Structure 1
């Protein structure tokens, strides 16, 4: 368990380093609100779609195509979304429900989940984790666009407008446009792939610096109650329910372990980018990311210990 804890800290620590760099740069006056707005737009509209596109076309579909497991993961993710939404209707102000729900169900699978799956289960973890991440990225972004559109701060929108917001979402476009390339294994020129990787590598550091630049003590105080509620949903209650369901469905060993790691990943930094793009409470989104990333070092290890204790791993 200690080795897993060290691995988890090794993966999450760089996230906090970039957050603190953002805090420091804002404090020094080297970045300002205009920079954060521009950089967040760049991430949302360009670098993150590129990153998602590359992750899909590089996934080894043949090595990890398991219909039963993939189907369960998608169903469980959709179920977690609706459970979080139902809870938010009771516990969260209407203005913050979109951000609350997104923070409660959307995991950082592409960074934390995939890294832990690869570390614990080697090539199998990399292949299965890559396919899982690719599939759920489309689900995450579609459901996030839906909930943020419903609770749009500018007022309610029609069903047609919600559908258009999903179809026009750059992250959704990045994923769907990659599917034909991955399925038919259409090669791209080496120079284009290399340039794409250079561009995509800006995504995580730039997004985290923007999140750090948004954080202040007053924001942490004002958002603490709602953010903690969403964080507990993301890191404790929903992963426990989804993993229990997977165990009862008969998943065991590496398959169950990878499912758990993906269910228990902290909230993705993309949730901040999308919240900011639609003028939602992006500060609340930033706090949820910080809290869930802090919690991951404990909750992931406790979950793995319990699964091993009951003999499911």
Structure 2
């Protein structure tokens, strides 16, 4: 499918969310409540549904998983080195970490279905089963002042993360070959079906442009790192390990995604620089519509 056509419904839903928020077609309370609903119930249901039913062929995607972990850890290590050199405060460093290692799963799942069909969705589901816990742990660590006094809060935040729990429960049901009642499965499917469109609308509603006037250079550096450096690094590693064309495409698409809109929620929870996080999410989401077709035409 044409890249532009695959992006079209995503862009429209994001634009709708932005216009609905700006015109106050629905109250501001709706967006906060819908994000909370999606983060704690709908999106974990989607993760559970995908991971409990997917055919977990780890042997097939072992190379992809290895490269996924390698690229994420390389980025995280580089950021920790930069933090040490420039003495970056935790409130801002947590934003930088999330802007580079987290990914917008709503956009990713929508793209995989459009571009690669069921096979791509299956491979992507196995990737996010590993990626979501990993990037959430890195994000919590980056937002925390690591000490014995804060260790308990950090561990509790990781274990209570609904996205991590959704992945763990979904994979557990899959590996143990546990079934659910048909009526419950239908309920989970209905909840999961609401997640992607509501999530994309919420991405649009969360777009904020105030930071563009005061911190444009910092915002552009984060956009450049996430939307260009990360996918280029992923492509280079894929070529070094001789991955197949489809595997390379899926990994490059994964690392081409803008950061997660849920990063704003986590940043606020840990009292990080939430305004900067909102600006980064907004600019990355906008620029993604330009950088993604460029990368696809360049590499594939």
Category of TM-score, reference length = shorter chain: 0.7 to 0.9
Residues 72, 21 of structure 1: alpha-carbon distance in 2 compared, 3 angstrom cutoff: same
C-alpha distance after superposition, 1:253-289 (max 9, x if no partner): 1111111111111112222232233343333323222
1:166 maps to what in 2? Answer: 158
Does residue 19 (structure 1) correspond to residue 18 (structure 2)? The answer is yes
Aligned length: 299
d(CA) in 2 for partners of 1:118, 1:23: 30
Residues 215, 293 of structure 1: alpha-carbon distance in 2 compared, 3 angstrom cutoff: closer
1:115 maps to what in 2? Answer: 110
Does residue 299 (structure 1) correspond to residue 294 (structure 2)? The answer is no
* Range that drifts further, 233-242 or 77-86: 77-86
d(CA) in 2 for partners of 1:189, 1:4: 39
What's the TM-score, normalizing by structure 2?
0.84
Does residue 245 (structure 1) correspond to residue 237 (structure 2)? The answer is yes
Contact 1:235 1:266 in 2 (8 A): yes
Determine which of 68, 89, 99 is the counterpart of 2:95.
99
d(CA) in 1 for partners of 2:109, 2:256: 12
C-alpha distance after superposition, 1:117-152 (max 9, x if no partner): 44333333222122112221221222222222348x
1:281 maps to what in 2? Answer: 273
Contact 2:14 2:203 in 1 (8 A): no
What are the residue-to-residue correspondences of 1:105-254 with 2, within 5 Å?
105-108=101-104, 110-150=105-145, 158-204=150-196, 206=198, 215-254=207-246
1:311 maps to what in 2? Answer: none
d(CA) in 1 for partners of 2:137, 2:53: 22
Contact 1:23 1:215 in 2 (8 A): no
Determine which of 252, 270, 275 is the counterpart of 1:260.
252
Contact 2:90 2:145 in 1 (8 A): no
Give unmatched runs, 5+ long, in structure 2.
Answer: none
RMSD of aligned alpha carbons: 3.1
* Range that drifts further, 47-56 or 236-245: 47-56
Residues 259, 202 of structure 1: alpha-carbon distance in 2 compared, 3 angstrom cutoff: same
1:6 maps to what in 2? Answer: 5
Contact 2:14 2:202 in 1 (8 A): no
Determine which of 63, 71, 83 is the counterpart of 1:68.
63
Question: SS of 2:258's equivalent?
Answer: coil
What's the TM-score, normalizing by structure 1?
0.81
C-alpha distance after superposition, 1:173-224 (max 9, x if no partner): 2221222111123111222122223334444555555565555553443453
d(CA) in 1 for partners of 2:101, 2:36: 23
Residues 167, 22 of structure 1: alpha-carbon distance in 2 compared, 3 angstrom cutoff: same
d(CA) in 2 for partners of 1:52, 1:293: 22
Shift of residue 96 of structure 1? 1.8
Question: SS of 2:158's equivalent?
Answer: helix
Residues 147, 202 of structure 1: alpha-carbon distance in 2 compared, 3 angstrom cutoff: farther
C-alpha distance after superposition, 1:212-240 (max 9, x if no partner): 55555534434534332222211011221
Contact 1:12 1:293 in 2 (8 A): no
Shift of residue 9 of structure 1? 3.6
